[in-house]
Amino acid sequence: MHDSVVTAILSREEMGNAGVSADKEYQRRHHRRDERIDEQWGRFAGVVKFLSDDPQSTKAWLKGSLGEQRLAKALQRDVGDRGVLLNDRQVPRTRGNIDHIVIAPTGIWVIDAKNYKGLVERKNKGGLFRDDYRLYVKGRDRTNRVEGLGWQIQAVRTALADQEVPITAALCFTDSEWRLFAKPFLIDGVLVVWEKALAEMIGAPGPLDSDEVLRIGASLAHALPPKVAH
């Protein structure tokens, strides 16, 4: 499968631009803060803006956008023409979006990118007779980040209609640390992984041939269109 074949079916616009939604939210919050400072400080507003910064809750959206862009570049580089990469997809009748969808011989991959610092690890917080595996990043319980992928998987299944295709949900950390000899792991059925390992798993041999990859890619691109920055 060659990139020219993919782009003959999907334009670059249809494939989408990574991080558009997160960047749009960052810009909205940033400009709203600027407007509040202008109203409150008048001719001193420029000084206040220079001496202050966006709150962490606002900067997190920019950081997230950069993480999505980084992951998209890595997937494009390492998976290349073995798959179709769809970035920042709208989900009809919701305000939500899906960071990345990759269609490859291994199946469909629904990916949520997280640009977090710190050590990623799985801890068993259960007792003697019950396992309770939790996701920790930089010592903080981040298991709830896994839960957000459930509705995304359902959105892709709905878009596929009756097509039976393997779907894997992945939470990919783009700027985190992992222990020596660490391996990707599962939390509640979601793969927790880093960029290179994810690309290797996506690019492995699988049950779909190139025609199926392209057909499914075109179908999902239509059913889950890209977000558009305004």
CB-based contact 14:221 (threshold 8 Å): yes
Q: What residues does each domain of the chain span?
A: 3-223
Q: Give the position of tokens 């920019």.
A: 62
190-194 sheet: strands from edge to edge = 84-90, 97-104, 107-114, 167-173, 190-194, 185-187
pLDDT higher than threshold 50 for residue 4: no
Amino acid (one-letter) located at 111: I
83-135 pLDDT, tens digit per residue, is 999 999 998 888 889 999 999 999 999 999 999 999 999 999 888 889 899 99
Burial class (CB in 10 A: 0-12, 13-18, 19+), 221: buried
Q: Which neighbouring-strand residues pair with 218?
A: none
Which two structure tokens, joined as six digits, stand for 69?
A: 């862009």
Q: Give the pLDDT confidence score for residue 48 in this predicted structure.
A: 64
Q: Give the pLDDT confidence score for residue 51 in this predicted structure.
A: 67
CA 189/CA 154 separation, integer angstroms: 14
The model carries a pTM of 0.85
Q: For strands 120-124 and 133-137, give the pairing.
A: antiparallel
Local confidence band at 225 (pLDDT 50, 70, 90 cut-offs): very high
Query: What value, to the nearest 5°, has the Cα angle with vertex 135 and ends 134 and 136?
Result: 115
150-196 pLDDT, tens digit per residue, is 999 999 999 998 788 999 999 999 989 999 999 999 999 999 999 99
CB-based contact 74:116 (threshold 8 Å): no
